[in-house]
């Protein structure tokens, strides 16, 4: 199976421990590929993902949906200690913004 329209999320970074570049795929967190160049690491992880997808299809498993194709509501629940909640509420009030606006700003920064 060749992933012609590969829409998975890849990242390549240097691994000091391995002394090579390592390629990752967010949708397949257990997979990685080491190589001497970032280009080869990306090519290697993409090939590995393609082979894993082929195996999954052959065995009747569901292949993960690419993160780029998922729809997100923009809402998620975060649990924090009550004292942190109070501290953030005070900070939001002092800044003249909603707690939601303050939290969104902190998360995106």
Instruction: Show pLDDT as tens, one digit a residue, over the chain (109 residues).
Output: 556 679 999 999 999 999 999 999 999 999 999 999 999 999 999 999 999 999 999 999 999 999 999 999 999 999 999 999 999 999 999 999 999 999 999 999 7
Residue 33: what pLDDT?
A: 98
SS3 content of the chain, % helix, strand, coil (to 5): 45, 15, 40
Is 63 a member of any domain?
yes
What predicted TM-score, i.e. pTM, was given to this entire model? 0.74
Q: Does 62 share its domain with 76?
A: no
Is 61 a member of any domain?
yes
Is 99 a member of any domain?
yes
Residue 51: what pLDDT?
A: 95
Q: How far apart are CA 44 and CA 5, in angstroms?
A: 17
Is 3 a member of any domain?
no
Structural domain containing residue 88: 72-108
Residue 2: what pLDDT?
A: 56
Number of domains forming the structure of the chain: 2
Residue 5: what pLDDT?
A: 74
Residue 109: what pLDDT?
A: 77
Q: Does 45 share its domain with 21?
A: yes
Q: Does 18 share its domain with 64?
A: yes
CB atoms inside a 10 Å sphere around CB 10:
17
Instruction: Return the SS3 of 97.
Output: coil
Comparing CA positions, the residue from 28, 37, 22 lying closest to residue 9 is 28
Beta bridge partners of 22: 13, 34
Q: Does 63 share its domain with 94?
A: no
């Amino acid at each position: 199976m060749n992933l012609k329209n590969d829409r998975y999320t890849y990242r390549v970074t240097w691994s000091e421990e391995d002394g090579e570049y390592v390629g990752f795929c967010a949708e397949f967190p257990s997979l990685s590929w080491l190589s001497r160049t970032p280009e080869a690491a990306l090519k290697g992880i993409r090939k590995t993902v393609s082979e894993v997808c082929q195996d999954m299809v052959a065995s009747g498993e569901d292949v993960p949906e690419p993160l780029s194709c998922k729809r997100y509501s923009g809402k998620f629940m975060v649990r924090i200690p009550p004292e942190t909640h109070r501290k953030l509420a005070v900070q939001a009030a002092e800044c003249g913004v909603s707690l939601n606006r303050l939290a969104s700003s902190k998360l995106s920064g």
